[in-house]
Amino acid sequence: MEALDYIERGFDFIDSERIGVTGLSYGGFMTNWIVTHTDRFKAAVSQNWISSWLSFFGTSDIGFYFGPDQIGGDPWSNPEDYREKSPLTYAFKVSTPIMFIHSLNDYRCWIDQSIIFYTALKYLGKKTRFAFFMEGSHVFRSIGKPSLRMKRLNLILEWFRNHLKDGC
């Protein structure tokens, strides 16, 4: 947020009413964290990420050590932090339209991470969309089939065009 403050102060051509945010993997996690803690961005796209540290624990190909390394302790010794550090906990605070993109063969951040957050936002009446790719790994955006990469990029562009254009 400090970087955004700096950019908005230093560059008069930046339209603060039309800024979007996107990220993949940890960047997707941070995108989710951002939209659950601020409404400064007018649209977001989150890709292949974590929404619940508890459900992530022990399921990722990165290993069971990752959660304790990032959160501290395990879900049994530190359940409060696993809940507090999960964007899903703050779903009710989201006001930014957000699209989720996830691929089925992501063994780093399983598809349930997107499904549960998307479902929570739909349940809460928030503006959201879910783009589910039946193939592709965690990093399909850079090493997947060209046709899938193009489809993903076009979905992102369409989402941002629809939510960042003048008059939104």
pLDDT of 61-91, one tens digit each? Answer: 677 777 777 788 888 998 899 899 999 999 9
Residues identified as active-site? 25, 138
Nearest to 111 by CA among 153, 51, 27: 51
- The domain limits of the chain are 19-164
**Predicted local confidence at residue 1, as pLDDT:** 87
pTM score, whole prediction: 0.85
Nearest to 52 by CA among 83, 7, 15, 94: 83
* H or E stretch at 21: strand 20-24
The top-level CATH class assigned to 19-164 is: alpha beta
